[in-house]
Structure 1
Amino acid sequence: MITLHKFSDDFCEENYVLIALHSDLEDYALAYTLNRALKISLIRSKTDLDISNETSFPIYEWKDKLNERYWTLIVNTSIKEEYLEFHDLFSNETSSTVYHVIPEYKDVDYLLKIEQEEDEIDSDMLDTILEIPKIITAYQIETNNLKSKQNLII
């Protein structure tokens, strides 16, 4: 007789806070600015976040051993340009396709994922982020109802 074990979704679920960031800064500049404001040390990962064969998204990460947090800054939008060959009036045009890590939040520029024990964010942390001059707005995203949260598995 074979014993079959099933895991509940709660067992595999990781605890994290997801913060949406709206900013016109480049990804490296935003990582630098967040590092200075929050006293963290995000660095560019050697590998990108690959959701499909179509595209990849740059990520910055840092493991905070003191506070037992794992920080990840993810670029939410990726644009893939393809060279199209036509033999007519519009020959040799380029086509752009836009991809998002979280398609439900297409207007969000960056996602800050903080893996930690609590599901709540420290209000001081969010206030510090909002005080950064080049960040237009920042807010916590409720992750329970996200359809594309599997894209955040890094």
Structure 2
Amino acid sequence: MAVHKLILDDAFEEALYTLIAIHCRLEDYRLAYLLNNHLGITLARKASDLDYNNGQVSYSIFEWEDQKQLVTWSLVSNICKTEEFQKTDYKSLFDNQENITKTFQLVPEYKTVNYFLKIDSEISFSKEKYIIDSILKLPQIATAYSVDSNTLKSKENLIFN
């Protein structure tokens, strides 16, 4: 019996995008508003959030499609906090339930990042530096920097469509 081997190295092309990490304490809608004003973009909240773990974890996402340059901008939250009640195992006179807060990250490699700004196009270094500098001019932003997407283990979490 003959064995057929398929080589798919060239069949799939890596998606090119620029990823910027943003550290701040702002609510997602407030950050989207500030980015819209300072970068001249029009981020708008999508109708549905990103759902993972069968709907138990969701991340807010804002998106804008630039029709002139054919580029999609996405602002997505990296942190999701959920509360759940857990019964205590010990026996007591009263049924005790503890309220436990669990924290999940969209990109676990960057646990302290609050938001990611994903630009679905590989932009020039000077334009990327301009965008980061514009973000850093906002007094509410602690820091922002570029992330090398080739080093991420959880790249598949950044596929939004």
Task: Note if 1:143 corresponds to 2:143.
Answer: no
Please give the residue correspondences for 1:1-154 in structure 2 after superposition, counting only pairs within 5 Å. Answer: 7-8=8-9, 11-53=12-54, 54-86=56-88, 88=92, 91-118=96-123, 120=125, 121-154=127-160
Deviation track 1:58-97 (CA, whole Å, cap 9, x = no partner) reads 1000001112210110100001110123354781211111
| 1:11-43 Cα deviation digits (max 9, x unpaired) | 342110000000111000000000000010000
Comparing 111-120 with 13-22, which one deviates more in the overlay?
111-120
Runs of at least 5 residues in structure 1 that lack an aligned partner in the other structure: none
Aligned residues: 154
| AA matched with 1:60 | F
User: Is contact 1:15-1:118 (8 Å) kept?
Assistant: no
CA RMSD of the aligned region, Å? 2.3
- Report percent identity of matched pairs: 41
Shift >2 Å, 4+ stretches: 3-12, 85-90, 117-122
Residue identity in the other structure for 1:24: R
Counterpart Cα distance in 2 of 1:94 and 1:57: 21
In structure 2, how many angstroms separate the alpha carbons of the residues matched to 1:69 and 1:83?
43
**CA separation of 1:79/1:90 partners in 2, compared to 1, >3 Å: closer, same or farther?**
farther
* Structure-2 separation of matches of 1:5 and 1:68: 34
Rounded Cα–Cα distance in structure 1 between residues aligned with 2:28 and 2:118: 15
Question: TM-score scaled by structure 2?
Answer: 0.85
Q: Out of 43-52 and 84-93, give the one that drifted further.
A: 84-93
**Contact 2:19-2:119 within 8 A present in 1 as well:** yes
Q: Could you tell me how far apart the structure 2 residues matched to 1:90 and 1:108 are?
A: 38
Aligned residues of 1:17 and 1:119 also touching (Cα < 8 A): no
Cα distance in 2 for partners of 1:96, 1:80 equals 6
| Helix, strand or coil at the partner of 1:31 | helix
For the pair shown, the structure with the greater C-alpha radius of gyration is 2
